Amino acid sequence: MSPLADVVTEGRRLVESVGDFRMRLLGGVGVALHDHRPVPPALERGYGDLDVVVPPKSAKQTSALMVAAGYEPNDRFNALHGAQRMLFYDLDNKRQVDVFVGVFSMCHRLDLSSRLDLHPYALEAADLLLTKLQIHEINRKDLVDAVRLVLTHENADIAGGGGGRTSSMSLDRLRSVTSTDWGWYTTVTDNLALVRTAAGELLEPVDAGIVEGRVDEIVGALQASPKSMRWKARSVVGRKTPWYELPEEVGGA
């Protein structure tokens, strides 16, 4: 079957097409598939490409499954970078699929290898939120997605989104990533302040209040979490040196 024109529907189809192979969506389509409650119009947006995560050491199997699902591989890019990242194309709909192999690495590195079975289609909410908040210079669409995630997920002190609680935001996961890495902590807390502001601009007062309260709860949990020695050592240097990477854009057939 060829890829479908509607990108959200195609995201579902793609994950279903690979059967028991653990492929999960991230990016805007991943956020859209966390449809736990009605979403205000201000948080609806169009989506272009697809982004997925697959298990580590699965480049060969991923390539075969993507081709079977109707996608064209970027053979040169995949040969060079396939251990970490791969590119495929839906030529009919002019879309790119960015495949992250085990790890999502942009401004910060997020190991997802053990977190691909917490939601049937997408990453679980805390991991999706981290992929949005890891961006040093966060843009408007990522802020919109982050506001949407916070609005549609209650905070819960659970490990992962497990126990069938896909509508919960795991404070445990957010703490575990940020309490050992000062850079992660700094970028996330900087961006949570922007999420809080954006909620007031995008939403009606009742929904804005929900987001603001949940953001405050997340920030409080991150601040109170015990920090590692590595975190404390890096905090001494502070913002004098960069604490993030600036990733290069990739794309093109």
For residue 42, the model assigns a pLDDT of 97
Could you tell me if 8 and 32 are in contact, meaning their C-beta atoms sit under 8 angstroms apart?
yes
Of the two residues 15 and 162, the one the predictor is more confident about is 15
d(CA 238, CA 53): 32
- Residues 6 or more apart whose CB falls under 8 angstroms from that of 9 comprise none
- Please give the residue range of the domain that contains residue 71: 7-240
Kind and range of the H or E run holding 65: helix 59-68
CATH code of the domain containing 144 = 3.30.460.10
What are the tens digits of pLDDT across the range 40-50? 999 999 999 99
Over residues 136-162, the mean pLDDT reads: 88
Is 14 part of a structural domain of the chain? yes
Is 98 part of a structural domain of the chain? yes
Is 245 part of a structural domain of the chain? no
Q: Is the pLDDT of residue 158 over 70?
A: no
Over residues 137-157, the mean pLDDT reads: 96
| Token representation of residue 189 | 């807390």
- The proportion of the chain whose per-residue pLDDT surpasses 90, expressed as a percent, equals 91
Total Cβ atoms within 10 A of residue 190? 12
Q: Is the pLDDT of residue 131 over 70?
A: yes
Q: What is the mean pLDDT of the chain?
A: 95
What are the tens digits of pLDDT across the range 43-102? 999 999 999 999 999 999 999 999 999 999 999 999 999 999 999 999 999 999 999 999
d(CA 68, CA 89): 13
Is 76 part of a structural domain of the chain? yes
Q: Is the pLDDT of residue 24 over 90?
A: yes
Secondary structure of 103-132 as H, E, C letters: EEECCCEEECCCCCCCCCCECCHHHHHHHH
What share of residues in the chain are helix, strand, coil (percent, to 5)?
Answer: 45, 15, 40
- The proportion of the chain whose per-residue pLDDT surpasses 70, expressed as a percent, equals 95
Which one-letter DSSP state was computed for residue 42? G
Is 251 part of a structural domain of the chain? no
Nearest to 111 by CA among 65, 180, 192, 59: 180
Could you tell me if 195 and 215 are in contact, meaning their C-beta atoms sit under 8 angstroms apart?
yes
Q: Is the pLDDT of residue 162 over 50?
A: no
Is 247 part of a structural domain of the chain? no
pTM of the model: 0.95
How many folded domains does the chain comprise?
A: 1
Phi, psi for 76 (deg, rounded to 5) = -65, -50
Is 228 part of a structural domain of the chain? yes
Is 28 part of a structural domain of the chain? yes
Q: Is the pLDDT of residue 159 over 80?
A: no
For residue 243, the model assigns a pLDDT of 98
Phi, psi for 111 (deg, rounded to 5) = -80, 120
